[in-house]
Amino acid sequence: MNSLKTAHPVHTAVAQAPSALNGIRVIDLSMFLAGPFGTQQLADLGADIIKIEPEHGDSTRLLPPHFHKGESLYFLSTNRSKRGMSIDLRQAEGREIFYDLVRSADVVIDNFRPGVIKKLGADYETLSALNPSIICCSISGFGQDGPYANRPAYDMIVQAISGGMSLTGEPGQRAVRAGVPIGDICAGLHAVIGILAALREREKSGIGQAIDISMLDVQVSMLSYQGVYHLFSGEIPGGQGRAHASIPTYASFQAKDGRDVLICANTEKMWIALCEILDLDYLPKDEKFLTNELRHTHRAELVPILNDAFLKRSSAEWLERLNEKGVPCAPVNTVAEALRDPQVRHREMVQKFEHELGGDIEVLGNPIKMSRSPTAPIKSPPLLGQHTKEILREIGYSEQKITSLIEHRLVA
């Protein structure tokens, strides 16, 4: 394993310590993005993730446009540090292999549509009879019940239905999806939160439970104060553009060189400093702008003044001045700029691993840094069925039986 290592005070001294989830085994039936992203976080924290795929594999293995040695970069971005098996769960004999794995596991995670997991005989009721301590987490578009439960759902669908998409874009213009797949990613993260909470509860009760994660539920919860504002006032917010609903000096402004500078001048001290930096010393004395509430009321007058001021210097000049005066600010980076950023690199958020078929792949790091428990070393995502024999041996299968299972195409 090759990683872009920088000295990191949080975990350099404990590099040999076990990772936080060392000893936890997760059976991962999920595919595409929400589930695999969540289980990748658990893998980074040290859990043993056994990714079970059908004979044709996770469909993202073939997702364009970028490939390394025939493997899609999409798949490689969400499946590192896992072990891979291929089992035909449609056949009774294949399910028996899966059940033997469940007896040795702590968690089973899936992102099937409700009802599919029961048809496969992999629902919580069935699995808890085999292993009362098992924790089953199901991620679906709309949850396990309700009028939409059986509808198919994808990231953009839940962004749209949740109302979050209506807040993204310029005021008065058509809504746009968030540039990152927040419906999938945030569902995966909430699945991790639920799994960790269930593992903690199991320490007291000794038994597992089922976790029901709805992508729509997660997106609705992320409406946050905008949702509460509506429930209180009845007002329907629209596109937020580059501004904040409550604070007019929490926004981005275009500089002389055409680049946007984002500022978050949220306090009176920051507001006064901002006006000084922009050579607008008269503004804090203007009765229309004395408080944030007044600035909010008169934002239609204030914002053009700020826009004109920012057009007088380059983005680099403004960022230097704002940082000197302690006004929170940032460039609006492209993805390329963000991944070259010295802070991002220092925090090891760009790393690389050696692929099983050769060649190094750069990937994104894990944001969780712990003082005693290091992030597990990054390993290549599994080839389809790569660890089938290894895992079957671990749960007591003989070489003869493994050979027979392969010949009968129950495993691959």
Residues 210, 260 within the same domain: no
33, 170: one domain? yes
Are 100 and 199 found together in one domain? yes
Together in a domain, 153 and 103: yes
Is residue 144 a contact partner of residue 216, using CB atoms and an 8 Å limit?
A: no
When pLDDT is averaged across residues 103-124 and rounded to a whole number, the result is 95
Point out the domain boundary residue: 339, 374, 392: 339
Residue 7 has a pLDDT of 38
- How far, in Å, CA of 31 to CA of 75, rounded? 9
242: confidence class by pLDDT, cuts 50, 70, 90: confident
Task: Supply the Cα-derived Rg of the chain in whole angstroms.
Answer: 25
State the average pLDDT over residues 72-77. Answer: 97
Nearest to 307 by CA among 350, 355, 342, 256: 256
Total tally of structural domains belonging to the chain: 2
Q: What is the mean pLDDT of the chain?
A: 93
Residue 375 is encoded by which pair of tokens?
A: 């992030």
Amino acid at 303: V
Catalytic annotation present for 145: no
What CATH number did the domain enclosing 126 receive? 3.40.50.10540
First to last CA, the chain: 26
Q: Is residue 103 part of a domain?
A: yes
Q: What is the mean pLDDT of residues 199-227?
A: 97
Q: Give the domain range for residue 156.
A: 12-222+351-407
Cα 88 from chain centre: 29
Q: Between β-strands 71-72 and 250-254, what pairing exists: parallel, antiparallel or unpaired?
A: unpaired
Whether 371 maps to a domain, the answer reads yes
Same domain, residue pair 355 and 287: no
**Predicted TM-score (pTM) of this structure:** 0.90
**Structure confidence at residue 73 (pLDDT):** 97
In a domain? residue 119: yes
At 302-335, the pLDDT tens digits run 999 999 999 999 999 999 999 999 999 999 999 9
Tell me whether residue 243 is in a domain. no
For tokens 């992320």, what's the residue?
222
What is the rounded (10 degree) CA torsion for 93, 95, 97, 99?
-140
Give me 321's structure tokens. 């001045």
Pick the catalytic residue from 184, 217, 281, 308: 184
Confidence class of residue 245 from pLDDT cuts 50, 70 and 90? confident
Q: Residue 69 is encoded by which pair of tokens?
A: 């040695």
pLDDT at 12 over 60: no
> Are 22 and 134 in a shared domain?
yes
Residue 17: pLDDT band with limits 50, 70, 90:
confident
∠ CA 405-410-412 to the nearest 5 degrees? Answer: 85
Residue 227 lies in a domain: no
The answer to whether 77 and 363 are in contact (CB under 8 A) is: yes
Does 6 score more than 90 pLDDT?
no
Q: How far apart are CA 163 and CA 195, in angstroms?
A: 27
Query: Is the predicted pLDDT of residue 5 greater than 80, yes or no?
Result: no
* Torsion angle defined by CA atoms of residues 114, 155, 224 and 267, in that order, rounded to the nearest 10 degrees: 160
| Listed residues 339, 371, 388: the one ending a domain | 339
Domain identity same for 47 and 161: yes
Residue 378's alpha-carbon distances to 24, 28, 77, 81, in angstroms, are: 17, 18, 12, 6
Question: Of the candidates 41, 80, 33, which has an alpha carbon nearest to the alpha carbon of residue 59?
Answer: 33
Query: Amino acid letter at 162?
Result: S
Model pLDDT, residue 241: 83
